[in-house]
Amino acid sequence: MQDMNIAPFQPLETDRLRLRCVVADDAPALTRLITPAVSRWVASWPVPLTPEIALTRIMTALKLAFAGDLLPVAIIEKESAELIGWTEIYRDAKARERGSLGYWLGEKYHGKGYMKELAPVVVVAGFALLNLTVIEAGAQPGNTASFAVMRALGMKRVREEMVYAPARKRDELCYFYEIYRPTAQTI
């Protein structure tokens, strides 16, 4: 059994953010950050998010991270040292060379350019640490901020499809973008 007190990857940094593996102690902060305005754009983060649900999600994420199938990242604002959001890249169980990028920030951190700052660092780490060939991301048609992040990463739109959103218990239309691993990659 893997020691869950040792992170499966080293922290990453940007100018304003520290990106580290999620830990059990993040559950209360995640619970406070998931509001209806945040949950409306993410398929699997329900409102209300209880500390128990958050902790279960973290423990599952850690197990997958130690198995080499997930890069679960707590987004920490350096200036305040507060957890401000979550991003992850998870490996497709059927097409193991493919990964999916998901991300969200708490409401008060929207519009500060944080996601455009951190997304390139997380994508490079996902290609390197999970040994992926392609990473995709998807969002509902009205989520213009998410599409701006995807385009800033160099992702190209590849398809649209209905996706089940367990947080809302319904199918939703999503547009998907993807990017292939560059031939030379450093981290």
> Can you give the pLDDT of all 187 residues of the chain as single tens digits?
455 557 889 999 999 999 999 999 999 999 999 999 999 999 999 899 999 999 999 999 999 999 999 999 999 999 999 999 999 999 999 999 999 999 999 999 999 999 999 999 999 999 999 999 999 999 999 999 999 999 999 999 999 999 999 989 999 999 999 999 987 545 4
**Peptide bond preceding 36: is omega within 30 degrees of 0, i.e. cis?**
no
Query: pTM value?
Result: 0.93
Answer whether CATH 3.30.70.100 is correct for domain 12-106+113-180.
no
Which tokens hold the place of 101? 């990028």
